[in-house]
Structure 1
Amino acid sequence: MAVYTQVSAEALSAFLARYDCGDLVSAKGIAEGVENTNYLVDTTQDRFILTLYEKRVAAEDLPFFMGLLDHLAAKGLAVPPAIKDRQGVEIQELEGRPACLIKFLPGVSLSHPTPAQALAAGRAMAEMHVALDDFAQVRINTMGIGIWGESLSRCGRPNMDSIHPGLFDRVASALTEVERDWPAYLPVSAIHADLFPDNVLMRGDEVSGLIDFYFACTDIRLYDLAVMHTSWCFDTEGRNYDPAIGAALLEGYGTVIDLAGGDRSALHILSMGACVRFLLSRAWDWLNTPADALVTRKDPLAYLRRLEFYQQAGATTFQ
């Protein structure tokens, strides 16, 4: 469950009074997500998402995230921008946390996407990339390749090997390969960096929204597609790869942005890098999340299995 900060009805009513959004009718904590506290808020006028930003989202990064969402919304993309209060302010404070009232988007988060849904999602990512071509703000990827070695060292050999024997050396070896072959020459832009299936809202086979931009940053544009590939094309445990989903993602993306041969080959090493990134963040959470925490830990080995798939399959996965 992702409700770290409790918000009283009195405090929420006072918060909503800053907006032209009606009076509070109901508020319910949202269990999905692990980074922030989220409430589904109904008022006499509409439905909203209230987000309180917890420790993993730095307050100084919020203007970048809000600016990116405003930019995409202004270009007609289905994203959830923050609502401005009567004074034109987006970023507020509530219960001692930075907070925003967010536009509610209809749709269902995916758990087992179909090829048709993957096709639509791949196209939606490419449309987002095109819309961000002229987005001027920059944010360093704080979860990017530059910190993976440090993250591995911080987890430590004994702790990593307690998760799985030999895990430290297996990740270190893969990281050496990724760092050696990283395609730094590819175009860089603002990217989502976390477009897992549960961050895409669907209505049937159509995308109704892209959400949860709180890892958004400036990085290799095609890395975004690689992250998507690692998260969409496997079962939850990372044991089974679905080539139909992979092909549909690339086809959908390619209907908007051409995937030339060199780009397709680079997706292999970018996907290995994405596996290292999520394996390490999951390992850190696995080792440091208290047993009584409200957040369910995610298995880092699910990304070790994905990493091993890409290592064994090679670039042929993307041909």
Structure 2
Amino acid sequence: MAVYTEVTDEALRAFLAGYPLGELLAFRGIAEGVENSNYALKTTKGDFVLTLYERRVDPAELPWFLGLMRHLVARGISAPQPVAGHDGEALRELAGRPAAICTFLPGVWPRRIRPEHCGPLGDALAALHVAGEGFGARRPNGLGPGAWAPLLDACRADGEGVQPGLIAELDRALAGIIAQWPAAGALPEGQIHADLFPDNVFFLEEGGAPHVSGLIDFYFACTDLLAYDVAVCLNAWCFEPDRSFNVTKARALLRAYSARRPLSGAERAALPVLCRGAAIRFLLTRLYDWVNTPKDAMVTRKDPLEYLHKLRFFMLASGPEALGG
């Protein structure tokens, strides 16, 4: 989440008049993330999140995202529920941007990931995949393998300033990943989150044991390989601050996921290359943002080199056993 577009108090109050949400009590920008402008709202009817969509989000695709969120909530997934206005529509416009309000979810995301978080995460991810089976509309992954070479090309001019030799290393890695990527139809597909980082998963604790209380930020969701979503989580949740891979966390994630939705042998065998693909995808989008984010944007840029170290680890992983599978 982030703030690119400022919203005045007067404009927000006029916007809220279109919703059955009572009077505005407070609002503040949310600076985390790199994609859309987000505000936390407090009204006399409760807490909500206002999102103004910009940058990589195609306005024509917003009904798909909002529809998926409604579908998942209806099937028991704790996700933001889009709020309809008096006219029955959830998608509107504010400050020249498409905008929507969603319900606020309780809980906090884990700043320090423990193995105890990874089991509930795996179960929640599998539950999302199972719940998504009934959502028939498809959305191609706009940041899938076909997007990686153009992203790398867009970073060539300034990428060497981040680290000498980076572009050449990514060229070699990308060629190998694309050559080994699963063929169409080889693995199960469905609706995936595609961005389930720790700051997109809320937890509450009962008796010292964390459980997932909410999944947020579905604006990279798409129709793609279900096991690729698992690979994204192995990247995002299973490395320590010293950059070492924690196989105990990975094993907890994979076991809990498979208890609800068993991974096939082909999916397990593909995990190393899927993890490489997830690593280079986030490396490239972070690198692009690193060299292109406006200096005055209220946004936290994320270090692309974090994912270079992850990519190097996965490039050396010869089989799923190295990943806890």
Instruction: Answer whether TM exceeds 0.5 for this pair.
Output: yes
Residues 189-248 of structure 1 deviation map (CA, whole Å, 9 limit, x = unaligned): 111000001100000211000000011111111101101110101135x72211111111
Residue 106 (structure 1) shift: 0.4
Residue 215 of structure 2 aligns to which amino acid in structure 1?
A: L
Matching residue within 287, 295, 303 for 2:307: 303
Number of matched pairs: 317
The Cα of 1:291 is off from its aligned counterpart by 3.6
1:188 aligns with 2:193: no
| Counterpart Cα distance in 2 of 1:173 and 1:202 | 39
Offset at residue 255 of structure 1 (A): 1.1
Residue 261 of structure 1 and its aligned partner are, at CA, apart by 2.8
Q: Which range is displaced more, 167-176 or 200-209?
A: 167-176
* Deviations 1:120-171 (CA, angstroms, capped at 9, x unpaired): 0110000000011121111111111011112112212x53222222211211
Greater alpha carbon shift after TM alignment, 107-116 vs 122-131? 107-116
TM-score, normalising length from structure 1?
0.95
Please identify runs of 4+ aligned residues in structure 1 that moved more than 4 A.
none
Instruction: Return the alpha-carbon distance in structure 2 between the equivalents of residues 98 and 139 of structure 1.
Output: 19
Q: Would the alpha carbon gap of residues 19 and 289 (structure 1) be closer, same or farther in structure 2, given more than 3 Å must change?
A: closer
| 1:202 maps onto 2:203 in alignment | yes
Distance in 2 (alpha carbons) for counterparts of 1:206 and 1:310? 28
For 1:265 and 1:304, locate their aligned partners in 2 and report how far apart those are by CA, in whole Å.
22
**Whole-angstrom distance in 1 between the partners of 2:162 and 2:11:** 42
Q: What is the correspondence of 1:1-319 to structure 2 with a 5 Å cutoff?
A: 2-156=2-156, 158-184=157-183, 185-204=186-205, 205-235=210-240, 239-315=243-319, 316-318=321-323, 319=325
Q: Percent identity?
A: 47
1:6 & 1:220 partners in 2: Cα distance? 37
- Report the Cα distance in structure 2 between the residues aligned to 1:32 and 1:167, rounded to whole angstroms: 26
TM-score, scaled to structure 2: 0.94
Per the TM alignment, residue 50 of structure 1 is displaced from its structure 2 partner at its CA by 0.9
Give the CA deviation at 1:81.
1.8
Could you tell me how far apart the structure 1 residues matched to 2:55 and 2:159 are? 24
Alignment root-mean-square deviation, CA: 1.5
Q: Which amino acid aligns with 1:126?
A: A
Greater CA drift, 304-313 or 160-169: 160-169
Gaps of 5+ in 2: none
Indicate the SS of the match to 1:99: strand
Segments of structure 1 that go 5 or more residues without pairing to the other structure are: none
